[in-house]
């Protein structure tokens, strides 16, 4: 299904804002010691390439991470909260579930499973994981996340 005509927000705008907001954190010593400007600029270039090659646009939740999905029990099931609705690549809403595989079965394996289960382009989904990996690494560095998770996220950022 096509997104609503003239939807006011798109994925490019969401990323423009996110790269500025989260990118400020690179000046913090604990973050800057692990993620440099070169890695950040690679993520921006990768993002721009994906945005420039979006073949199909859909209405996205826009912030569909694990904390924004709740279990409503047997009668309601899972439901998403706190949308930041925008139009963009259908792979984007699945990327946080892929990146959550870091330090576990691995992002690449999780990517294959999620892409197959959701009918998504696995190569694009993996490319999106490389875009958001440094952002996820910053979150884990901030909250003393497990080192294997951080290591895998940083490797994806290279």
Residue 88 CB contacts under 8 Å (≥ 6 apart), including other chains: 10, 11, 12, 14, 51, 54, 57, 58, 60, 62
- Whole-number Å distance between alpha carbons of 17 and 9: 12
- Whole-number Å distance between alpha carbons of 16 and 33: 24
CA-only gyration radius of the chain, Å: 16
The alpha-helical segments, DSSP class H, found in 35-121 are 37-52, 73-76, 95-99, 107-118
**Which tokens is 146 given?**
């497990």
Closest of 77, 122, 70 to residue 95, by C-alpha:
122
Per the annotation, the verdict on 144 as an active-site residue is: no
Q: Which of 63, 89, 93, 96 is catalytic?
A: 63
Match 């826009």 to its residue by tokens: 62
Residues tagged active-site: 63
């Amino acid at each position: 299904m096509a997104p609503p005509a003239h939807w006011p927000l798109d994925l490019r705008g969401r990323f423009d804002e996110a790269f500025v907001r989260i990118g400020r954190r690179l000046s913090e010593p604990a973050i800057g010691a692990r993620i440099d400007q070169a890695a950040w600029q690679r993520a921006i270039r990768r993002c721009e390439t994906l945005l420039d090659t979006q073949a199909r646009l859909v209405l996205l939740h826009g912030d569909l991470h694990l904390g924004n999905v709740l279990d409503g029990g047997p009668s309601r099931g899972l439901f998403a909260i706190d949308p930041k609705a925008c139009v963009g690549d259908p792979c984007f809403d699945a990327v946080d579930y892929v990146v959550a595989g870091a330090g576990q079965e691995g992002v690449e394996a999780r990517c294959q499973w999620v892409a197959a289960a959701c009918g998504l382009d696995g190569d694009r989904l993996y490319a999106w994981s490389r875009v958001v990996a440094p952002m996820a690494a910053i979150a884990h560095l901030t909250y003393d996340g497990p080192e294997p998770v951080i290591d895998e996220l940083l490797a994806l950022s290279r």
